[in-house]
Amino acid sequence: MISSYLAVSQLDLSPSLVEQQLIQLEQYLADSTLPDVRWQYQIPELGEGGACSLFGHLQEQPFKLTDYLHDSQVTAEKLAKLQKIVDYVVLQSQVDWYGIYQVTATEQGPQLLKLAYHGAPSRPLFPLTETFAKASNNVQVALTKQGRVINDVAAYLEQGGEYYTCDPKVKAETCLPLLDDKQNCLGIIDAEAFNNQFFDQQTLALLVACCIKIPQFLV
């Protein structure tokens, strides 16, 4: 499972390092204590063309997951598990922003829906289109199943990389796919840090371990 994930996502990591992180994650999840489920959350106003969000400008009405997910005990338990994984990643890595997204059918077509996260408010949905992928790491990863690790956003931009800045404090970002046992993409995780070179081998192994576990709790 780990080796195939690394091959598909094109990440150069030690499978044994990921396995160590996975064991620790499973031990943490074995504790039956679960965080509260966040069924709604504040989101920013969209910027020009909807390609990004206006950082610091929030919409009056919160975004409601119940508009896209069935409010049931099973769904609530899965969302709580996902939030617990989010909390674990933040605890272990001190990452500044971390979110879990699931591919979801909507009236506007398939989109990435943010299920659980830590950090500043951010957009809840990303259209899964080639056009949107030109300015979105999240969508690029979901469409290609290839992980993206940018440890210096400023240098990446200087080299001509396409990237939109929602939070100007973000200096490093990692986006990884969530895959099922047939290597279909079910969603993505997105992690952002306010320091360059944040995503070292240990931190990436932690994120991959979570990507191995998260599909069990998608709704």
pLDDT digits (tens, 9 = 90+) for 72-110: 999 999 999 999 999 999 999 999 999 999 999 999 999
Between CA 72 and CA 49 the distance in angstroms is 35
**Quick one: which of 87, 81, 85, 77 has its CA closest to 25?**
85
Between CA 40 and CA 153 the distance in angstroms is 30
**Contact call for residues 164 and 52 (beta carbons, < 8 A):** yes
- Tell me what percent of the residues of the chain surpass a pLDDT of 70: 93
Between CA 175 and CA 50 the distance in angstroms is 20
What is the pLDDT at residue 93?
98
For residue 104, the cross-strand partners are 111
What is the pLDDT at residue 71?
86
pLDDT at 63 over 80: yes
pLDDT at 140 over 90: yes
- Tell me what percent of the residues of the chain surpass a pLDDT of 90: 79
Report which of residues 140 and 158 the model is more confident about: 140
pLDDT digits (tens, 9 = 90+) for 154-199: 898 888 776 666 677 899 999 999 999 999 999 999 999 999 999 9
pLDDT at 57 over 90: no
Burial class (CB in 10 A: 0-12, 13-18, 19+), 99: buried
The conformational region for residue 10 under phi > 0 = left, psi -120 to 50 = alpha, else beta, is left
What is the pLDDT at residue 51?
52
Between CA 148 and CA 88 the distance in angstroms is 21
**Quick one: which of 75, 71, 81, 79 has its CA closest to 32?**
81
What is the pLDDT at residue 162?
67
Residue with the two structure tokens 């830590």: 118
- pLDDT band at residue 45 using 50, 70 and 90 as cut-offs: confident
Q: Does the reported pTM lie above 0.85? A: yes
Between CA 110 and CA 33 the distance in angstroms is 33
Instruction: Extract the tokens encoding 28.
Output: 């943490």
Between CA 214 and CA 187 the distance in angstroms is 10
Instruction: Extract the tokens encoding 78.
Output: 């899965």
Over the chain, what is the mean pLDDT?
92
| Other residues' Cβ atoms within 10 Å of the Cβ of residue 106 | 13
